[in-house]
Amino acid sequence: MADLPAVIEQYGLDEPFFVQYGTWIGHVLSGNLGWSVVVGMSVWDAIWNFLPATLELAIFAAPLIILTGIFLGTQAAAHKDRPVDHGTRVLAIFGWSLPTFWFGLILLMIFYGFFRGLLPPGRLSIQMDLVIHSADFIRYTHINTIDAILNLNGPLLLDALRHIVLPVVTLSVVQVAFIMRLMRSSMLEALGKGYILTARAKGLAERVVVNKHARRNALIPVITISGYLFAGLANGVVITETIFTYKGIGWWAWQAAVNLDIASVLGFALFNAALFVLINLVVDILYTRVDPRVRLGQGVQ
C-alpha cells in the first residue's frame, strides 16, 4: 500500500478523465492493448494464442449454418403453407427462444452423461493433449483438426472431432433459425418474379425452377447477412466456449470478465468490433460486385 502514490503517478491515474482516455487511445493506436492478468501475457499475445481454437469452431460452424439455413429456407419457400413450411417456422421460433447456454448443458447431460463420455467437453483429452505438445508433432496452424490431418494422425483427428461436435451444434442452432427465415422470404420474393413464370411456362421441372432459377437470385440478398452471422458467432462463442470449457478466445474473455480483468475485456471487444466493421465493409463491396444493380441503382438516384 505504501507504493500506492507511486503507482498512481506511474499510470497517470490522477490525471483528468480525458487525458487518461487520450493516453489509452495513444497506446491502442501504437498496438499496445495492455496486459491480460488472467493468463499472464499481453492482450495481443492472448488474442493470438486463443484465436486458433475459436477459428476451429467457426470453420465447422459457419458452413453448417449457411448450408442448413439455405437448404431449409429454400424448402420452406418452395412448399409454402405446407407441413414443411409450418414445421420450419415452429423450429425457427423455438431456435430464437432457446437459451443457448441451457441447450449446451442439456446436450452435455445426454452425450457426456448418458452416453458415458461419448462427446466430452474441453478441447482434447489428456493423452491427446500430450501428443500435440510432443516434440515430433508439428503445430502448423494450432487448429487441432487441421494439424492432425497434416501430421497424418488419425486418433488425434478423431479425438478433436469428438470434442468439437457439441460446441458446433450449440453455436449453430440459433443462427440456422435466423438464416432459414431470411432465405425463405428472399426465396418467396424470387419465386414471384416474371422469369419464374417464364421458366415454368416453358415446362421446366419444378426442381430446376426452384434450385436453378429462384435460389440463385434469392442468394444475393442473403450475402448481406454475413455481417450478422459474424456478430452471432462472436456472441455465441463466449457462451459456448464457457459451457464446454473449450479454451478459445471466448473462454478467455469470460475468464477476464468474471475476474474484472478490464484490459482483456476491452481488448477483446475492440478486436471484435474491428473485425465486425471490416467484414461489413467487405460485404458491401462484394454486394456491389455480385449485383451490379445496387451500384447502378444508386447512380440513377
12: left (phi over 0), alpha (psi -120 to 50) or beta: left
d(CA 151, CA 294): 46
Specify the residue, 76 or 132, whose C-beta has the smaller distance to another protein.
Answer: 76
Q: How far is the CB of 242 from another protein (least distance, A)?
A: 6
Q: Which of 97, 134, 298, 301 binds another protein (CB under 8 A)?
A: 97
- Side chain identity at 174, as an amino acid letter? V
Q: Does 258 bind another protein (CB under 8 A)?
A: yes
Binding mask 115-154 for another protein (x = CB under 8 A): -x--------------------------------------
The candidate with the shortest Cα–Cα distance to 172, out of 276, 106, 95, 247, is 95
Q: Which residues pair with 35 in a beta bridge?
A: 42
d(CA 116, CA 14): 57
Cell of 273: 468490433
Specify the residue, 145 or 175, whose C-beta has the smaller distance to another protein.
Answer: 175
Q: How far is the CB of 131 from another protein (least distance, A)?
A: 26
Specify the residue, 281 or 285, whose C-beta has the smaller distance to another protein.
Answer: 281
CB under 8 A: which stretch of 22-30, 93-101, 131-139, 291-299 binds another protein? 93-101
- Number of chain positions touching another protein (CB under 8 A): 47
**Runs of H (alpha helix) within 109-153:** 126-132, 144-150
Specify the residue, 19 or 109, whose C-beta has the smaller distance to another protein.
Answer: 109
Q: Does 301 bind another protein (CB under 8 A)?
A: no
Binding mask 179-208 for another protein (x = CB under 8 A): ------x--xx-------------------
Q: Does 37 bind another protein (CB under 8 A)?
A: no
d(CA 17, CA 39): 28
Q: Does 17 bind another protein (CB under 8 A)?
A: no
Q: Does 282 bind another protein (CB under 8 A)?
A: no
Q: How far is the CB of 2 from another protein (least distance, A)?
A: 27
Q: How far is the CB of 222 from another protein (least distance, A)?
A: 16
The candidate with the shortest Cα–Cα distance to 107, out of 243, 233, 15, 213, is 243
d(CA 216, CA 187): 9
Distances (CA, A) of 37 to 34, 165, 218, 261: 9, 31, 48, 6
Q: At how many degrees (to 10) do helices 154-191 and 100-108 cross?
A: 140
Q: Does 99 bind another protein (CB under 8 A)?
A: yes
H or E element, residue 36? strand 35-36
Residues that bind another protein (CB under 8 A): 90, 93-94, 96-103, 105-106, 108-109, 112-114, 116, 185, 188-189, 230-232, 234-235, 238-239, 242-243, 253-254, 256-258, 260-262, 265-266, 268-269, 272-273, 276-277
